[in-house]
Amino acid sequence: MKKILLSLIILFIGFKNIFAQLTVDTTVTPAGLVNAITAGGIAVSNITYTGVQRASGTFQCPGACNLGISGGILLTSGQAAIAALANTQSGQGADNGLATTDPQLNTLTTGLTQDVAILEFDFVAVSDTIEFNYIFASDEYSDYVNTSCNDVFGFFISGPGITGYEDIAVVPGTSPPVPMTINNVNNGISGHGVPPPGPCEYCQYFRENTAPVMYTTAYDGLTTILTARATSIQPGQVYHLKLAVADVCDGIFDTGVFLEAGSFLAPAPPALFAGGNRLTGNTVHICQGSSVSLSAPAGFSYLWNTGETTQSISVNTAGTFQVTIDGTNTSYPVVSSPVTFIVDNTSIPNPVLTFANNIISSSVNTPNYSYSWTLDGNPVPGATLPDINFLQYGCYAVTVQDPGGCYVTSDSLCVMSVGINEMAPVDNVKLYPNPFSQSATLIFDNPQKNNFTLRVLDITGRELKSIQNIFSGNVLIEKENLKAGIYFYELINTTQSESYKGKMIIN
């Protein structure tokens, strides 16, 4: 019976070791490395790798593997295959043969970096947050804690809204952010196989790879599973991500970073834009007869619930709209939150402006509407009623908005002088062409050959030119030294003391 029990134990241990085996493949291309970690809401491009082939690869750690990550990619300062060995001695590693240093990594350590492995690429995200999971491990632990041999790694992001390069591989909850390095995250100094005495630095994030707990990797120490995160991404804009690791001081003791498969993603729902403005809710009001462009961030492929496959769709009816977005890895599509469009049926009549007793009034004066006025195209502060006191010569207009957000803007009413408003030309007085660039002809009936005077005025009522003793039925108005803009003409019948007033535009 004891022999049977012993055989079962040996058999169990054998199966456990089979499932616990960490394997590394160093033949994967840079694009394959990026694709292995990329998931939903991310589109990548311009992938480059700096380092020797054997320093990087994909890894698998299935079943009972106790790293906590079952697969992904591995970047090392030596040889990635060494990570799959058992931790039987201190100082397992190899120089990767690349003496290249890195300026961003050099800012995180007092020593000069060497043996770099750098994977970098551009990316676009569908939301304002990106993240991925990782484990930092090194054979420098714990022998070289608090020495100058402080192997280093960093996840550097750059792009809109970020000054220079921002390292997002930091100790969780630290402010200002503390970089993740051997000297910053450890359980104190010790020799290989000796329990460290402390004191520790952020040791809640550290795991010693010594008995009685042995992890399935050759590295002497490793962190817990951590998350690198950036939360100020502008959706649809291009950013650059640089994943880098390097030796410091020596090139023998290896350091590696495990990045979890499928963990590089934009976790929040995709940002959507209505009329160019980012939505902060899930309801949009549109006016009857109008349409609004509903857009997703640029740089992806799209499938709307309407069947359209463009980045933007035009919405002019009530309904609920949603889009599925594919990034680099089409195995991880993301779906937006549904957006409900409501059509407001209020119909506002076109406001007509009148001027009397130094007050300009709108024909639309419904109490629960809102009003805003402009003078020569500039907002008039505090003017929120259906009428406005005359302020100065110029062109007035009002915008009327109903409670649903629909609005209309009146034609301009141009006041030449106090008490005199622009009069629409009568049938027998016409200016052609209007607008004009060089000259126009004023045509009018004058069967009695009365004596007319033509005055050209600016919007303040100031006379700019005058043509007298006009007896025919037409007169040429030339631009001459007048600038482009709005002017007024006044045709005065000096015989009968009558006048006609109108607006002319020079472009």
Q: Given 3.40.605.10, 3.10.450.50, 2.60.40.10, 3.30.2450.30, which CATH number is that of 273-344? A: 2.60.40.10
455 near 489, Cβ under 8 Å? yes
The dihedrals phi and psi of 298, each to the nearest 5 degrees, come to -75, 160
Q: Is the pLDDT of residue 41 over 90?
A: yes
Q: Is the pLDDT of residue 444 over 80?
A: yes
76 near 98, Cβ under 8 Å? no
DSSP state of 3: H
Q: What is the pLDDT of residues 456-484, one digit of tens each?
A: 987 666 788 889 998 888 899 999 989 88
The reported pTM is: 0.68
Tokens encoding 464: 């700019």
Q: CA–CA separation, 458 vs 479, rounded Å? A: 13
Q: Is the pLDDT of residue 421 over 80?
A: no
pLDDT attached to residue 99: 64
307 near 362, Cβ under 8 Å? no
Q: What is the pLDDT of residues 170-215, one digit of tens each?
A: 999 999 999 888 888 988 765 544 555 667 889 899 998 887 888 8
The contacts of residue 91 (CB under 8 Å, 6+ apart) are 139, 143, 192, 252, 253
Q: CA–CA separation, 109 vs 175, rounded Å? A: 18
What's the fold here for domain 353-420? Immunoglobulin-like (2.60.40)
At residue 159, what is the residue type? Answer: G
Question: 339-344 and 283-287: which strand pairing?
Answer: parallel
Tokens encoding 224: 């817990």
Q: Can you tell me the mean pLDDT for 221-233? A: 95
Q: CA–CA separation, 269 vs 266, rounded Å? A: 8
| Residue 454 bridge partners (DSSP) | 467, 491
- For the chain, percent of residues with pLDDT exceeding 90: 43
More confident site: 302 or 100:
302
150 near 183, Cβ under 8 Å? yes
Instruction: Report the chain's mean pLDDT, rounded to a whole number.
Output: 84
Q: What is the pLDDT of residues 308-358, one digit of tens each?
A: 999 999 998 999 999 999 988 888 899 999 999 988 766 788 899 988 877
Q: What is the pLDDT of residues 157-170, one digit of tens each?
A: 999 999 999 999 99
Instruction: Give burial (CB, 10 Å; 0-12/13-18/19+) of 343.
Output: middle
Q: Can you tell me the mean pLDDT for 29-55? A: 95
Q: Is the dihedral of CA 155, 156, 160, 162 positive or negative?
A: positive
Contacts from 416-421 at CB under 8 Å and sequence distance 24+? 416/457, 416/459, 416/461, 416/488, 416/501, 417/393, 417/461, 418/358, 418/390, 419/358, 420/461, 420/501, 421/354, 421/355
CA 485 to chain centre: 40
Which residue do the tokens 């022999």 mark? 3
Residue-range domain boundaries for the chain: 2-260, 273-344, 353-420, 423-506
Q: CA–CA separation, 104 vs 301, rounded Å? A: 34
Q: Can you tell me the mean pLDDT for 23-44? A: 96
Peptide linkage before 410 cis (omega within 30 of 0):
no
Q: Which CATH superfamily is domain 423-506 in?
A: Immunoglobulins (2.60.40.10)
